[in-house]
Amino acid sequence: MTHPSEPTDPTIVVTGATGRLGGRVARRLAERGVAQRLLVRSPERAPKLPGATTARGSFGDRDAVVRGLTGARTVFMVSASESVDRVSQHQAFVDAAVEAGVGHLVYVSFFGAAPDAAFTLARDHFHTEEHIRASGLTHTFLRDNLYADIIPELAGKDGVIRGPAGQGRASFVSQDDIADAAATVLTRPADHAGKTYDMTGPESLTLDEAAAILSEQLGRPFRYQPETIEEAYASRASYGAPPWELDAWVSTYTAIANGELDGVSSAIPDLTGHPARSLADVLRTTPRTHP
């Protein structure tokens, strides 16, 4: 049974609603009859949902964020777009949430967030978590593993996934499952105050195993080709990406190799009441493409 908020005064604010994860969360809240405010950079791109209003604001615009969060009891904070100054953007958003009087912040973090994590962006999440703790805000952290939904995008046009992941494993998680879990937390936040949940799929897979599942489900051949770290940097150099972004791309794989993305949690079934979707489950709902 759900308990909708008053439609004239949404007490839940969702960020990132124009993106893959935030949009899923917003739709689930709407399906539950929960009023919400969507805080987005481009309101014209926000999904049109019953019971949803929009407010314009980017993470670094303190005044706009304070306005957008004022009156909110609970805020769903999707991390900002990857950038060299993402941590400072996050810190500015958290400070604005404090100023706006937010009661509870639900932050989308990353599996194994730590100051010395191999995956460089997991360090960003650690520092954001620390800032949230220091702010005094009541909080819940959802630490997502790699998204199962984007695993096909790791492969080149030739169907080869290249990277220095060795035979390490990752517990790829469905964005739909994360959204289901987030909706549970957002609608009953007091039950989850101070909690950190590892969001994983039901199994940990090597990239060889993931490639075999891709081949079976998508109907065309995929395979994994291990690289050395040097080869990984060299093969990505032609993209002209800045050093921090190259580090992030390569360290996604070295984190797998180091075992930092291995391990299955019961958080998804515990929070949603249904089993976590496997990589094969996710791919079954993906439109088939052909060479």
Digit-coded pLDDT (tens) for 74-112: 999 999 888 888 999 999 999 999 999 999 999 999 999
Count structural domains, the chain: 1
**pLDDT averaged over the chain?**
93
116-126 tens-digit pLDDT = 999 999 999 99
Position 120 in a domain? yes
Which stretch of 31-35, 51-55, 159-163, 284-288 has the lowest confidence by average pLDDT? 284-288
Position 228 in a domain? no
b/e code 76-93 from CB counts within 10 Å (16+ = b): bbbbbeeeeebbebbbbb
CA distance 14 to 40: 8
Q: Which domain holds residue 41?
A: 12-146+175-200+264-274
**H-helix or E-strand spanning residue 94:** helix 86-100
Asked if residues 15 and 39 have their Cβ atoms less than 8 Å apart, the reply is: yes
With vertex at residue 81, the alpha carbon angle to CA 175 and CA 73, rounded to the nearest 5 degrees, is 70
- pLDDT at residue number 290: 38
Position 47 in a domain? yes
DSSP assignment letter at 56: E
- pLDDT at residue number 84: 87
Enumerate the β-bridge partners of residue 199.
Answer: 144
Query: Taking residues 33-43, what's their average pLDDT?
Result: 95
More confident of the two residues 80 and 291: 80
Position 290 in a domain? no
pLDDT band at 10 (very low <50, low <70, confident <90, very high): low
> Residue 7: pLDDT above 90?
no
Position 89 in a domain? yes
pLDDT band at 8 (very low <50, low <70, confident <90, very high): very low
Position 105 in a domain? yes
pLDDT band at 289 (very low <50, low <70, confident <90, very high): very low
- pLDDT at residue number 3: 40
- pLDDT at residue number 210: 98
Secondary-structure percent of the chain, ordered helix, strand, coil, rounded to 5: 45, 15, 40
Instruction: Tell me the residue type at 221.
Output: P
119-153 tens-digit pLDDT = 999 999 999 999 999 999 999 999 999 999 999 99
Position 188 in a domain? yes
**Residue 86 maps to which CATH number?**
3.40.50.720
Closest CA to 73 of 109, 36, 110: 36
Which tokens in the block code for residue 195? 């909690």
pTM above 0.85, yes or no: yes
224-263 tens-digit pLDDT = 999 999 999 999 988 899 999 999 999 999 999 999 999 9
Position 42 in a domain? yes
> Residue 5: pLDDT above 60?
no
